[in-house]
Structure 1
Amino acid sequence: MIELTRDGDLWAVTLNRPEKANSLTSEMLSRLIEIADEAAVGAKVLVLTGAGKVFSAGADLDEARAGLATSHLWEELSGKFAELPCLTIAALNGTLAGGAFGMALACDIRISDPSAKFFYPVMKLGFLPQPSDPRRMRELIGPARAKMILMGGQKILADEALAWGLVDRIVDASEQKAAVEVLAGDALAADLAHIAGIKALITP
C-alpha cells in the first residue's frame, strides 16, 4: 500500500490504495515513518504522491473509529517529513483531506492537479487536528483562511488553494512527474549538505 522507488538520490513514495481513496492505516503511517528515517540519510529529493485520482482521503474510516484519528503516528510522521534535510515535494495527484494534510503541509513544495479539492473536516467529526497542522497551515495561508478550512469546514478548490498559497503550482497529474524532475534538478546535482544548509536558512 506504500510503494517506494529509488532513482539514485531521487526517492518517490506512492500511496497505493486507490480502491479506498488512498485512506491511511496505522500500518501505512508506520511505513511512511520508516521511509522518512531512511530518506534522512539516503535521499536528496523525496517526492510524495498517490495512485489513482485521489491523493488521500485521510484516515481509514474503520481504523479512525478504533482510535487512529487521534493516534500519535500522524504527528510523528509530519514531524519526520518537516525535519528531513532533503528537498521534499508533495505531488498531489488529486484531493487531499483530513489527516493526510499533515505530511503534505510538512513538505517544502506542493504541486496540485487542477481537479483537487482540499478539506479537513475535524470540526464536523469532533476531533482536534494534529498539533502542528494548524500552525503550518496558518504559516502558509494566514489565520483566517486556516479557520475557514478547520473551523468552517470549507472545501477549497485547486485554483483558490494556489491563490492562497496552500499549493505552489497547478500541474495536471499526468504531467507531475516531469514537473518534479524540473523542480528536483538543482538539488539532485548538489551535495546533501548544501541542500540541508539552504533549507535550514529558509525554514525556522
Structure 2
Amino acid sequence: MISLEKEGGYWLAVIDRPEKANSLTPEMLERLCEIAEAAVEARVLVLTGVGKVFSAGADLEAARAGLATSPLWERLSGAIAALPCLTICALNGTLAGGAMGMALACDLRISVPGAKVFYPVMKLGFLPQPSDPPRLAALVGPARAKMILMAGQKVPVEEAQVWGLIDRIVPPDHLMSTARALAEDALGAAPDHAAAIKGLIR
C-alpha cells in the first residue's frame, strides 16, 4: 500500500489505499518512516497518493487502538525534515489529521485544486505531534495555526496558498510533472551543494 519508485536520485513514494481515503495503518506508517530514513541517498523525495485524498491520517480502527498518538508520526516527520535533499509533498487531494505532519515537514507543498487541509485534534481530543504546531505556525502564523488546530477549520487549498501553507496549485494531470520540474535543479546539483543551500535557509 506504500510503493517506492526510484529513478536515479528521484524517489517517489506513493500512498495507495484509495478505498480507505489513503488512511494509514501502523505497517504503512512504518514503511513511510523507513523510506524517509533511507532517502538520505536521494536527491529529491516526492510524497503523493492515489485517488482523491492524499491521506486521511490514521486508519479509524488503528487510531482507536492507539495509532493516533503513536511516536511513528513524529519519527516520520522528523526524518523528512532532517533530509539534506529537496522534499516535495504533491497533494493529489485532501490532507487530513496526522498526515499533515509529513506535509509540513516537506520543503514544498503543491496541490490539485479543490482539496482541503484540516487537522481535527481539538474535536477528537488528541494533541498534535509536537513538531507539527511550530512548523505550521512558521508557515501560516500563530493565528492561522490556531484556526486549523483549535477552531478545526477545513481550509481550501486555494486559501491555504494565500496563507503560505501551499506553494502551488496545479491541475491534476500536471501534478506529477510539476513535481518533477521542481526537482530538476536539485537533481542536477551535487548533493552537498543542495544540502548546503538547504542548510543556509534553515
TM over 0.5: yes
TM-score (norm 2): 0.99
Q: How does 1:186-197 map to 2 (within 5 A)?
A: 186-197=185-196
Gaps of 5+ in 1: none
Counterpart residue number, 2:22: 22
Counterpart AA for 1:22? N
Q: Is the 8 A contact 2:49 2:55 kept in 1?
A: yes
Give 1:173 deviation, angstroms.
2.1
Corresponding residue SS for 2:88: strand
In structure 2, C-alpha distance between the alignment counterparts of 1:37 and 1:131, rounded to whole Å: 19
Give the 3-state SS of the residue equivalent to 1:114 in structure 2: coil
Find the counterpart in structure 2 of residue 112 from structure 1: 111
Q: Deviations over 1:61-109 (max 9, x none)?
A: 0000000011000001000000001100000000000000000000000
Q: In structure 2, what is the equivalent of residue 72 of structure 1? A: 71
SS, match of residue 165 in structure 2: coil
Q: C-alpha displacement at 1:201, in angstroms? A: 0.5
* Contact 1:90–1:104 (Cα < 8 Å) also in 2: yes
Name the Cα RMSD after superposition: 0.6
Total equivalences in the alignment: 202
Letter of the aligned partner of 1:154 in structure 2? Q
* 2:8 counterpart letter in structure 1: G
Identity of aligned residues (%): 67
Ranges of 4+ aligned residues in structure 1 off by more than 4 Å: none
Partner of 2:56: 57
State the match for 2:45 in structure 1.
46
Unaligned runs of 5+ in 2: none
Q: Post-superposition shift, 1:191?
A: 0.7
* 1:34 maps to 2:34: yes
1:37 CA drift (Å): 1.6
Q: Distance in 1 between matches of 2:123 and 2:92?
A: 25
- Measured in 1, the distance between the counterparts of 2:135 and 2:80 equals 12
C-alpha distance in 2, partners of 1:63/1:84?
A: 28
The Cα of 1:180 is off from its aligned counterpart by: 1.2
Q: What is the deviation of 1:158?
A: 1.2
CA contact (8 A) 1:92 1:173 kept: no
What secondary structure is seen at the aligned counterpart in 1 of 2:57?
coil
Superposition pairs for residues 87-98 of structure 1, below 5 Å? 87-98=86-97
